[in-house]
Amino acid sequence: MRESPTWRIPIGIIGLCIALGAYALAVARWVGPLVTDLHALVQLPIYILLGVVWLLPLRRFLIWMETGRWG
């Protein structure tokens, strides 16, 4: 248990929100127009994949927020 608060958690949460918002805007701006003409059943796996891919670096980022180390 931590004895004193750390700055990494609030900064990490703010950074995560900003990064996730930028990722969502990038997907909407560049990928959205490419797939809007496709059939809905083709769009579904594309958006599922793009909705999950941002989770890949999240584990290491959360470890950094808690411990200060990247691994």
Confidence at residue 33, expressed as pLDDT on a 0 to 100 scale: 93
Confidence at residue 67, expressed as pLDDT on a 0 to 100 scale: 87
DSSP string covering 14-38: HHHHHHHHHHHHHIIIIIHHHHTTS
**Radius of gyration of the CA atoms of the chain, in A:** 17
Give the pLDDT means over successive 10-residue stretches in the chain (71 positions).
80 94 94 94 95 90 87 72
Domain boundaries, the chain: 8-67
Confidence at residue 5, expressed as pLDDT on a 0 to 100 scale: 75
